[in-house]
Amino acid sequence: MKKCFVFCFIACLSLSLKAQKSNEIGFFFGGAYYIGDLNPSAHFNSLTRPALGLIFRHNFNSRFAIAYTGFFGSVQGIDSRSNSYEQQQRNLSFRSTLYEFGFRGEFNFIDYKLGDDRHSFTPFMFLGAGVFNFNPKASFDNLWVALQPLKTEGQTKPYQKTQVAIPFGAGVRINLSKRIGFLAEWGMRKTFTDYIDDVSTVYADPTQLIADNGELSAAVADRSGSDFSNIGRQRGNPRTKDWYSFAGVTITFQLANPKKRCTTY
């Protein structure tokens, strides 16, 4: 999957480099977090983890651009850190690396051009599409175990770890020099999966989990320590899908444009 992301990213770069407008390459530094069953609504909290990225931008004019992006980060959720008593009792946790490749259209609210002192600042917004790969894991006996193969909610088939996302967000850009720019952005990702955290529906029968997937499946599926049976009780909320976010800053560098041919008379 990682090789696929790199190949697609390079292919998009080569296509855009053929254009005669201005191009930039940027390096993203920031953080990533997720919104889901183990973190229902908190943004930029202690669960936010470092993230990196690479951006290639093709500027059509001072207002419109298209950018090809590759992001890498980590997200996590920990019930024991929640203020909710119900979450603390559930006591689930996970972490997952995220690899995302996508493209997005960008709109500047003010005319902007890298290296132009007259148009050196603008807020902007973006909307795009992408694919991402995730792999939720939980800590058990001092080891990190992958949860998807364990089918912890009694799924007949494991969920897909590669999914489609819709990135959207806003930010600001400003010129630092003739060929270097600074960009700050906050972007959310709408997804179509509820399993970034491996939590979605109800508790499965542990006896069936052991029969189908082994004792480890039952051990990580219910960590509440309850004295009564949780079979059929709500483990997650299947009515809402998971979200994730990349937010941070990007340093961009303008690439040299192809030299124009001189007209021969």
Question: For the segment 157-212, what is each residue's pLDDT rounded down to a tens digit?
Answer: 999 999 999 999 999 999 999 999 999 999 999 999 999 999 999 999 999 999 99
Task: Decide if pLDDT at 12 tops 70.
Answer: no
Alpha carbons 107 and 112: distance in angstroms, whole number = 10
**Beta strands 121-134 and 162-175, pairing class:** antiparallel
Q: pLDDT tens-digit profile of 70-114? A: 999 999 999 999 999 999 999 999 999 999 999 999 999 999 999
The answer to whether the CB of 141 falls within 8 A of the CB of 201 is no
pTM: 0.88
* pLDDT > 80? residue 13: no
Per-residue confidence (pLDDT) for residue 21, from 0 to 100: 79
DSSP structural state of residue 234: B
Q: Residue 251: CA atoms inside 13 Å, Cβ hemisphere, count?
A: 5
Give the mean pLDDT of 132-136: 98
Q: What is the pLDDT of residue 10?
A: 56
Work out the percent of the chain whose per-residue pLDDT is above 70.
89
> Which residue has better confidence, 133 or 7?
133
Task: Say which residues have a Cβ less than 8 Å from residue 198's Cβ, sequence separation at least 6.
Answer: 94, 136, 138, 147, 148, 152
Give the confidence band of 227 by pLDDT, cuts at 50, 70, 90: confident
Mean pLDDT of 239-250: 97
Domains of the chain, CATH where assigned: 2-254 (2.40.160.20)
> At residue 174, what is the residue type?
I
Nearest to 170 by CA among 114, 126, 219: 126
**pLDDT tens, position by position, 19-66:** 447 899 999 999 999 999 999 999 999 999 999 999 999 999 999 999
For the chain, state the CA radius of gyration.
Answer: 22
Phi, psi (degrees; rounded to nearest 5) at 23: -130, 150
Q: Which residues of 93-130 are buried (b: 16+ CB within 10 A; e: fewer)?
A: bbbbebbbbbbbebebeeebbbeeeeebebebbbebeb
Mean pLDDT across the stretch 222-251?
95
